[in-house]
Amino acid sequence: MRIVELFERDKPFISLEFFPPKEQVDWPVFFRSVEKLRSINPLFVSVTYGAGGSTQSHTLDIVTRLKRDLSLEPMAHLTCVGATEAGILAFLKELRSVGVDNILALRGDPPQDQPVVTSAERDFTYASDLVSFVRKRYPEMGIGVAGYPEGHPEASCLEADLDALRIKLDAGGDFVVTQLFFDNGHYWDFVGRARAAGVKKPIIPGIMPIFSLKVIRKVLSLCGASIPADLMAELEESNRLGGADAVQALGMEYARGQIKGLLEKGVPGIHLYTLNRDEACLRLLEGIF
Ligand SMILES: Cc1cc2nc3c(=O)[nH]c(=O)nc-3n(C[C@H](O)[C@H](O)[C@H](O)COP(=O)(O)OP(=O)(O)OC[C@H]3O[C@@H](n4cnc5c(N)ncnc54)[C@H](O)[C@@H]3O)c2cc1C
């Protein structure tokens, strides 16, 4: 079923994002994790897609099993950077053959170690090209797209980034999942600007709990989102006084506060970047979902 049609069913909803473990030997543990998280009744679960090519078939295998064995509603992330129309069609065909109805259509990030391909040589330049392509070939499919409350790092300004979002939605995107943010004000500002620009489709906030200082520093360096200076200072102080456990406790408390604040102000749902951490996510959501 198209995910956007499920939004009205559970309000507010929780959805969960996973990444495919690189090694197949780790898959049994991964599926046990997902199974534990199934107890909170996610509206849908999404599985990331490696733009570098390392885990693309894993995404397909995993969404297949989530649908078939765990009866979850999966959304496969799909990137188009460096992809050919034939490759994308083959992937979509496989998804449809196993009954996966939804994708998150992304551009992805070009691998830095590969030669630059000119726009005349490539089949897809932006995520909007992928959205148009999928909408034309598989009009019945559900399509989510990415949105950036603080702007995408390559965008010249927030307005240009919002234009890019509108193009993706006008091309057939059903809803937006946002990049992580640590200040709910960024999300509300983004929603306000999008609505003022005529965007009417749902914008689902993406929340990433801080489980480790090392991981969050890496994530922030890659995605261009910011962290409030006082939160970072508190995390560093927790690390100094209580080590990794204290950082995780503070990170989880902060994420609970963010989630509660968003729900109080009426978001349609929360998309949780689980980092495949079942126990921590269950504790984080206890009493909320
Ligand atoms: C929720 C979420 C999930 C993600 N999952 C994955 C994943 O599974 N795998 C992965 O590799 N990456 C993933 N990413 C990261 C994503 O691939 C990168 O952020 C990438 O740099 C941009 O992808 P996009 O789909 O937003 O690109 P686009 O929407 O194409 O935007 C890319 C840049 O181009 C600009 N732009 C877009 N259209 C136009 C236009 N018509 N004219 C001029 N400029 C334009 C935008 O402003 C932006 O700066 C995810 C990001 C988010 C927020």
3-state secondary structure 31-78: HHHHHHHHHHCCCCEEECCCCCCCCHHHHHHHHHHHHHCCCCCEEEEE
Give residue-wise pLDDT tens across range 139-168.
999 999 999 999 999 999 999 999 999 999
Give the pLDDT band (50/70/90) at residue 110.
confident
Fold of 3-285: TIM Barrel (3.20.20)
| pLDDT over 70, % of the chain | 96
pLDDT value of position 48: 96
* CB of 109 shorter than 6 A to ligand 1: yes
How many helices and strands, by DSSP H and E, does the chain display? 10, 8
pLDDT value of position 9: 85
* Smallest CA separation from ligand 1 atom 19, residue: 108
17 belongs to the catalytic site? yes
* Smallest CA separation from ligand 1 atom 9, residue: 49
pLDDT value of position 115: 62
Predicted TM-score (pTM) of this structure: 0.96
Give the pLDDT band (50/70/90) at residue 114.
low
pLDDT at 51 over 60: no
Q: Pick from 185, 180, 178: which is nearest to 162 by CA?
A: 178
pLDDT at 249 over 70: yes
Do residues 66 and 34 touch, judged by C-beta distance below 8 A?
yes
Cis before 12? omega within 30: yes
Instruction: Tell me the CA–centroid distance for residue 127 and ligand 1, in Å.
Output: 6
Instruction: Tell me the CA–centroid distance for residue 239 and ligand 1, in Å.
Output: 33
pLDDT value of position 39: 96
Average pLDDT, integer, range 109-129:
80
Give the pLDDT band (50/70/90) at residue 88.
very high
List the catalytic residue out of 5, 8, 17, 35.
17
| pLDDT over 90, % of the chain | 89
Give the pLDDT band (50/70/90) at residue 224.
confident
Give the pLDDT band (50/70/90) at residue 19.
very high
* CB of 14 shorter than 6 A to ligand 1: no
Average pLDDT, integer, range 76-90:
95
Say how far residue 106 (Cα) sits from the centre of its chain. 10
pLDDT value of position 54: 57
Average pLDDT, integer, range 257-262:
98
- Count CB atoms within 10 A of the CB of residue 157: 9
What's the whole-number average pLDDT of the chain? 94
